Structure 1
Amino acid sequence: MTYIASFDIGTTHVKGILVNRDGELFHEQNVSLTCRQEPPFIEQEPEQWFKAVGTIVNEWFRDGIGAGLISLVSFSGQMQDCIPVDEQGRAVRPAILYSDSRAGAEARMIRDEIGEEEIFRSAANRMDGTLTFPKLLWLKTHEADSCARTSRYLISSKDYVIARLTGAFVTDPTSAATTGCMDIRRREWREDWLVRMGLPAGKLPDILPSGETAGRVHAEGSRLTGLAEGTPVLCGIGDAGAATLGAGVYEPGEVYAYIGTTGWIAGVSGGVADPASGLFNLAYAEPGRYINVAPLTNAGNAHHWAAEVFAPEAAGTDGRGMYEAVERLVEASDRGRNKILFLPYLNGERCPVQDEEASGCFIGLRPSTTKADMAAAVLEGVAFAMKQVMELRGAPEGAASLTLIGGGARSRQWCRVLADVFGTEVSVPSESQFLPCLGAAALGFPGLGWASSYDRLCELFKIRRKCETFSPDAEKKAHYESKYARYLELYPALAPVFRQAATEA
């Protein structure tokens, strides 16, 4: 039996799996990552991504998987980063991550110079300080020395690992759509925009189709990871594209939800959505298909914050104890009567509101409030935000259930909250946290002769996967309908407070 080795390089973990021609997953591995957060600065050392891949490969070898059994390598990764590298593909400085919003002033400069109408028409997304294009301009202004030592700017965490494995500087159309400077229909860089902003042309990675071979593992990449020299490495796909493929969503009209560190509600269409609505448009695996995303800056990171604040004593050696303690707290809360509201904008927000200055808030605290009530309110707050963005993008008519994937889906209490808030069944595929890995692996199936097309492959994934279903509680559903109406009033009422706080900072 031979395998595709697939890696999903996120913010908090690198996940790796081996996938056979039947779409079965084997030898799942998970390596934790560290991240430096001093909002609006959020950075990560890229070399740890590469080392994590080597760690996972060597775990496979210890389990008896020889390098010769790996037919090819594919990747999914966090997008919208700014990763300056030298000629050898090594990081010049820490990566500026997607959730880093330091470049707000530079985004305004780009809007003023190029014009919002042209940006919407070509890039099909809002220009804000989290995109790669403004971050490039920020580096030019604030770190001229780093820019002078930079040979290329990479976009996704997977792009960095591919460069270290093969020497190729590439990205995929899904990741490139998060920069703010790719023509989304032509899938080409708008280098004329870079020149207009005084940035050098030719330093962005080459845009390749996701399923195309970016290169082969070179001698140094083999020595450092254990992968066989000459093993083909695909260009791969940004995490939202990989998650969409892994969820089996390929046809227009299909929708699913994802909870990772950040989150989104996403669906596939044959055209771009109006970016003025707050929706984000991504190029999908094949030309003519787009992923319309309602992105949430705050999702699993709010869960992590609650775990650190409400249950630090339960962390244990791997940190999982904190999350288990939060599960117990939420279960102990009387959710059908809990009136505490939580606005989950811990890192600002980009959808359904666009406000980098917004912050997280509890509303309704009383002397009788418990940690259990507050922990439950955090999960409810993210669920309300997801409901709001679902309404923004429009739920498919007659949808009887919502497919939920990502690490957040491991929280059974959160799944119950979501079912009650949405008032519909929530379907969680088994091993949902590894579905982005499965989606990245799917890119290699046609080339190996394992599948004829992505659409047929997605149907196969949906037929074969096992799911756990959470049904809404009628009493809690009614409670949440009333609570959601109050939740919608929070941001409009607090926005002036956020603006005032920003001016005084």
Structure 2
Amino acid sequence: MTGAGPDLWLGVDLGTQGVRAVAVTSDGRLLGTGRSPLTSHRRGERHEQDPEQWWRAVCSAVGQACAAGADPRRIRALAVDATSGTLTLTDRHGTCVTPGLMYDDGRAAVEAEQVNALGEHQWARAGYRRMQRSWGLPKLRWLLDRYPHAAAEGWRLAHQSDVINRRLVGHEVPTDTSNALKSGADAATVTWPEHVFAALGIPSGVLPGLVLPGTPIGEVCAGAAAECGLVPGTLVVAGMTDGCAAQLGSGATAVGSWNSVLGTTLVLKGVTADLLHDPGGVVYSHRSPSGHWLPGGASSTGAGLVAREFAGADLGRLTDEAEPLLPTGLLRYPLVSPGERFPFVAPDAVAFSSREPVGRAEDFAALMQGVAYLERLCFDYVDLLGAPTDGAVVLTGGATRNPVWNQLRADVLQRPVSLPRHAQPALGMAVLAAGACGGLGGLDRAAAAMVLPDRVLEPRPSHRSAHDEGYARLLGLLVRRGWLSGTVADHAREGTAP
């Protein structure tokens, strides 16, 4: 390696709306960043992207990161994450021959029923029990039904990150168990469940090889280097989904630690030593490069209601007006869209309030509080399943820009919460790349060195009693509507003050 300066690790994040690249030093300094937009085609349940634009956007973002101050000669390794469940088919030469079916494309409803009927026992062993129609395997079956010649012509399943990795190294690549989880991969054994695929009529020839995240899969080839501005020979390691990448970027990699991401919706992801089995099919687990498991779930509540219900409002002023009203007796179940996925499954769930608000400030206070109560219920649910929840809680996501909401979440959880400085999926991939190379002593040490802390918020004991009472009331409302089981509610009430 030539060039002066510290070693760099490159992380690339393929999101829905764009690609972001960051070049990070081993002590967490961002020396270069880049971003390039992506466009989608949506109509009803259809959501597609042109896979060719993925590569163009990656080249643009990586080029910007290098131009911004990251010397490509110092980049030792890179990893790519992508949206979970997004896939396409490629021909023998690695060229995409179908559109990219995005993570929330919902056209494979019939195929999902078939997948669940024929793979019931396999999915139960995997811990999540059922696949959803937007998952990768139902969509693969959907594609093969529409391209019956695919296997004969040597076409192959490729997840979004696989498309980029192949372009980077210039040859066939295996897929990682994180991106392949929703395509049916058995992360415990790092194999495809051949009996299920045979029953579904999916030829083994369309399936790529499988490796764990962090496994070296090749080096940047000369052609890709010329397009992206990288140096030929730079190591490429298998990545993860964007949700797992965000977790690594938060620094929550030790057993018992949790990353709570509050953006449009609320996502909770943690670390367990063993695979977590959920009889309710609410939580599913990825495999960590360290050998641990990463259970988590995504709620349909979240901060997405802020833009919808308070469009045009001065959110800073509204937050200042709402703060003295907390805790508020107004209870809200703030669903962003109908139907709940986590911490319970209720397709018929709808948003509700316990009464009419007295002004916009109280309504906003109740929205923030309602999300915090659902976050607490998520923790109570995974605790009921046997997951350790005594480790660090790291808050990330767009809502962390609101300091009052951050403090409220600490008060409701009654535990310290931390906020990292540069948390993002691309940073998580840089951490993965560094951990894979061994120079920093593995994933946990790489995360500790590269994810820099910003601040820690302590809970205020004076707020505990009021929040416990409000939380218990909300549990009762959810049970009476038939959405939350009495068993889960009883367990959650055990943590409230007498």
Aligned counterpart, 2:353: 363
Aligned counterpart, 2:430: 441
- One of 239, 242, 252 as aligned partner of 1:239: 242
Ranges in structure 1 where 5+ consecutive residues have no aligned partner: 315-324, 497-505
Counterpart of 1:137, as a letter, is R
- Check if 1:112 corresponds to 2:114: no
Taking a change above 3 Å as real, the CA distance of residues 256 and 51 of structure 1, as seen in their structure-2 partners, is: same
**1:245 aligned counterpart, secondary structure:** helix
**2:271 aligned counterpart, secondary structure:** strand
Q: In the alignment, is the contact (CA less than 8 A) between 2:220 and 2:235 conserved in 1?
A: yes
Aligned counterpart, 1:55: 60
Task: Please state how far the C-alpha of 1:120 moved relative to its aligned partner.
Answer: 1.1
Taking a change above 3 Å as real, the CA distance of residues 414 and 190 of structure 1, as seen in their structure-2 partners, is: same
- One of 27, 32, 37 as aligned partner of 2:32: 27
Taking a change above 3 Å as real, the CA distance of residues 86 and 344 of structure 1, as seen in their structure-2 partners, is: farther
**1:382 aligned counterpart, secondary structure:** helix
The number of aligned residues is 471
**2:163 aligned counterpart, secondary structure:** helix
Aligned counterpart, 1:152: 156
Aligned counterpart, 1:290: 293
**1:75 aligned counterpart, secondary structure:** strand
- Check if 1:138 corresponds to 2:127: no
Aligned counterpart, 2:197: 194
Task: Please state how far the C-alpha of 1:309 moved relative to its aligned partner.
Answer: 4.6
RMSD: 3.4
Structure-1 separation of matches of 2:427 and 2:317: 31
Aligned counterpart, 2:318: 329
- Check if 1:257 corresponds to 2:247: no
Q: In the alignment, is the contact (CA less than 8 A) between 2:178 and 2:287 conserved in 1?
A: yes
Counterpart of 1:361, as a letter, is A
**2:204 aligned counterpart, secondary structure:** coil
Taking a change above 3 Å as real, the CA distance of residues 453 and 27 of structure 1, as seen in their structure-2 partners, is: same
Ranges in structure 2 where 5+ consecutive residues have no aligned partner: 484-498
Taking a change above 3 Å as real, the CA distance of residues 188 and 224 of structure 1, as seen in their structure-2 partners, is: same
- Check if 1:271 corresponds to 2:262: no
Structure-2 separation of matches of 1:46 and 1:348: 31
- One of 4, 15, 18 as aligned partner of 2:23: 18
Structure-2 separation of matches of 1:362 and 1:36: 32
Task: Please state how far the C-alpha of 1:437 moved relative to its aligned partner.
Answer: 2.8
Counterpart of 2:429, as a letter, is A
Structure-2 separation of matches of 1:75 and 1:417: 34
Counterpart of 1:275, as a letter, is D
Aligned counterpart, 1:322: none
**Any residues of structure 2 matched to 1:292-331 within 5 Å, and which?**
292-293=295-296, 295-298=297-300, 302-311=302-311, 313=312, 325-331=314-320
Aligned counterpart, 2:455: 468
Q: In the alignment, is the contact (CA less than 8 A) between 2:177 and 2:211 conserved in 1?
A: yes
Aligned counterpart, 1:385: 374
Aligned counterpart, 1:346: 337
Structure-2 separation of matches of 1:247 and 1:79: 18
Deviations 1:347-383 (A, max 9, x none): 633222224x34552424638442x444444443333
**1:339 aligned counterpart, secondary structure:** coil
Aligned counterpart, 2:493: none
Aligned counterpart, 1:221: 224
Structure-1 separation of matches of 2:29 and 2:109: 44
Aligned counterpart, 1:121: 125
- One of 394, 400, 407 as aligned partner of 1:403: 394
Taking a change above 3 Å as real, the CA distance of residues 272 and 66 of structure 1, as seen in their structure-2 partners, is: closer
Aligned counterpart, 2:179: 175
Structure-2 separation of matches of 1:451 and 1:92: 40
TM-score for the superposition, normalised by structure 2: 0.82
Q: In the alignment, is the contact (CA less than 8 A) between 2:372 and 2:409 conserved in 1?
A: yes
Aligned counterpart, 2:491: none
Aligned counterpart, 2:421: 430
**1:127 aligned counterpart, secondary structure:** coil
Task: Please state how far the C-alpha of 1:150 moved relative to its aligned partner.
Answer: 8.5
Task: Please state how far the C-alpha of 1:472 moved relative to its aligned partner.
Answer: 3.4
TM-score for the superposition, normalised by structure 1: 0.81
Task: Please state how far the C-alpha of 1:266 moved relative to its aligned partner.
Answer: 2.7
Structure-2 separation of matches of 1:487 and 1:413: 21
Aligned counterpart, 1:483: 470
**2:188 aligned counterpart, secondary structure:** coil
Structure-2 separation of matches of 1:98 and 1:238: 11
Counterpart of 1:382, as a letter, is V
Counterpart of 2:143, as a letter, is L
Q: In the alignment, is the contact (CA less than 8 A) between 2:136 and 2:182 conserved in 1?
A: yes
Deviations 1:250-271 (A, max 9, x none): 4433333233555432332232
Structure-2 separation of matches of 1:88 and 1:348: 42
- One of 395, 403, 407 as aligned partner of 1:412: 403
Q: In the alignment, is the contact (CA less than 8 A) between 1:80 and 1:132 conserved in 2?
A: yes
**2:372 aligned counterpart, secondary structure:** helix
Counterpart of 1:472, as a letter, is P
Aligned counterpart, 1:317: none
Deviations 1:82-127 (A, max 9, x none): 333344544444433334444344322222223x334312565432
Q: In the alignment, is the contact (CA less than 8 A) between 1:345 and 1:358 conserved in 2?
A: no
Task: Please state how far the C-alpha of 1:291 moved relative to its aligned partner.
Answer: 1.6
Aligned counterpart, 2:14: 9
Taking a change above 3 Å as real, the CA distance of residues 447 and 480 of structure 1, as seen in their structure-2 partners, is: closer
Percent identity, aligned pairs only? 26
